[in-house]
Amino acid sequence: MAHNSVNAYIEVIRRNDAEIGKLWDAIQMDPELKETTTVLVLPEFGRDKDLNQRNGLDHGDRSDELGKVCMFAAGPDFKKNSQSLAEFQTIDVAPTMCALMGAKAEHAKAKALKELYG
């Protein structure tokens, strides 16, 4: 959607946000899931700095914005009501999940985001 229309992209984000909210509410209503489930929400990459000719956003202009994403992390392992402005890369997510599960990310070329949990 983002390639063709910013407004349509925003609507998809709103719809996805509502569905993630429903998922989170369902997890919180189940005592076992509430104590054992971690949820991470992030895109796979950012979007270009400028609108394309169709008034949409692509992801290939090599602008710094492509590497800028936001991530929401929630669950029993994460610090409550906190935010980190630390920079990270999406490749840091896999070692973070491995660390939370007690596994080693032996071949990862990234770091666990330890400032987010503990």
Statement: residue 20 has pLDDT above 90: yes
φ/ψ (deg, to 5) at 39: -125, 130
Q: Where are the domains of the chain?
A: 1-76, 79-118
Report the phi/psi class of residue 81: left, alpha or beta, with left for phi > 0 and alpha for psi in -120 to 50: left
pLDDT band at 111 (very low <50, low <70, confident <90, very high): confident
Instruction: Specify the pTM.
Output: 0.72
Q: Mind listing the pLDDT tens digit for each residue in 66-95? A: 666 778 889 998 888 888 888 787 788 889
Q: Parallel, antiparallel, or unpaired: how do β-strands 39-41 and 72-74 relate?
A: antiparallel
Alpha-carbon distance values, 64 to 5, 18, 84 (Å): 21, 29, 20
Q: What angle do CA 76, 80, 85 make, to 5 degrees?
A: 115
Instruction: Copy the structure tokens of residue 34.
Output: 């509430």
